[in-house]
Amino acid sequence: MILLLLLLVGCNQPVSREGENQSATIQKPRVAVPEFNSDSAYANVKIQLGFGPRVPNTKEHEKCGTWLDMQLKTFTPNIIVQKGKVTAYNGTTLAFQNLIASWKPETNNRILLCAHWDSRPYADHDPDPKNRRKPVDAANDGASGVAVLLEIARQLQLKAPPIGVDIILFDAEDYGPPQDLPITENADEQWGLGAQYWSNNPHKEGYTARYGILLDMVGASKATFLMEGISLQYAGDIVKSVWAAANRIGYSSFFLFEQGGFITDDHLPINRIRNIPTIDIIHLDKNSGTGFYPGWHTTHDNLASIDKLTLKAVGQTLLTVIYEEK
């Protein structure tokens, strides 16, 4: 993932950060919305990390993929595992699998939720140069988004959504070149390989959705989700609607009405190739050296960085968006 800093950017109870005053204008969801279980989501992060770094072409990656497939099958019978091979920036052939789960597959009125489940092979932003060719545990950058979607999948099984929902766990997102290599003209195409493949070869011929929401780095403590540039470019109305829902139910300290940078992420090919307006909920930090949260692409992206409050804020917001749809 490359940050192009062109711009600087029910009766569910809201979860507030310790010592923080929430807005007095918090409202209940407009319909009955399931309660997102942050303990369940946290457990999903922990299980993924138990396999080790999920780098394509490794046993750890294969074992985690099998577990994800089994988990999704407990929530819906409508599962497709899309397997294939893609070529990484350095010519390495990567065997990948995108996992697709669907609810109400018969309806054309659909939304798409997605995250990537693979791990970065290089901790290339680690403060210790000795660690920069080590793989990343990817607790936040990968596992957190998957964990939130697995808990949402569980809730979709318990209470049918009002519209069709597809969850896609993309593979081979984070196998881009190390930061010490020069940026090439086709830099956008060196990331999100699984999402690029699916965008060109969807699991259902002619597949489309009203809109999509990508989760990336949605579990770190005191996360800030700025309004990412490409999301605003292709799906500005969806960004504003999701941010408004989050603020309305009490998560204004996470979802900030501030514009962030332009991020090359899995939503880029979905927007450009599949023409599905898709946004990226991603932790951006204007005060860090990289523009992302401090543990990004380092050996510090481990379980200690995960905060249940952040998982709750993102998960409850998505459930609200889903169940308020018509």
Which residues, listed in sequence order, are joined to residue 215 by a DSSP beta bridge?
281
Query: Quick check: 316 pLDDT over 90?
Result: yes
Cα dihedral value 130, 136, 137, 141, nearest 10: 140
**Per-residue pLDDT tens digits for 247-274:** 999 999 999 999 999 999 999 999 999 9
Q: 69-74: long-range contacts at Cβ-Cβ below 8 A with a sequence spacing of 24 or more?
A: 69/99, 71/150, 71/153, 72/99, 72/101, 72/150, 72/153, 72/167, 72/169, 74/157
Q: What is the DSSP string of 72-85?
A: HHTT-S-EEEEEEE
Q: Domain of residue 115: give its range.
A: 3-323
CATH of the domain at 18: 3.40.630.10
Residue 17: which pLDDT band, with cuts at 50, 70 and 90? Answer: low
Residue that is written with structure tokens 């060719």 in the block: 133
Q: Residues of the chain with pLDDT > 70: what percent?
A: 93
pLDDT of 25 reads 75
Say if residues 110 and 209 touch (Cβ distance below 8 Å).
Answer: yes
The answer for residues whose C-beta is within 8 angstroms of residue 191's C-beta and 6 or more apart is 1, 2, 173, 174, 175, 176, 264, 265
| Overall average pLDDT of the 178-185 stretch | 82
CA distance 140 to 222: 13
* Domain count for the chain: 1
Tell me the chain's radius of gyration from C-alpha atoms: 18
pTM equals: 0.92
| Overall average pLDDT of the 232-239 stretch | 98
**Per-residue pLDDT tens digits for 70-104:** 999 999 999 999 999 999 999 999 999 999 999 99
3-state secondary structure at position 7: coil
**Per-residue pLDDT tens digits for 273-311:** 999 999 999 999 988 889 999 999 999 999 999 999 999
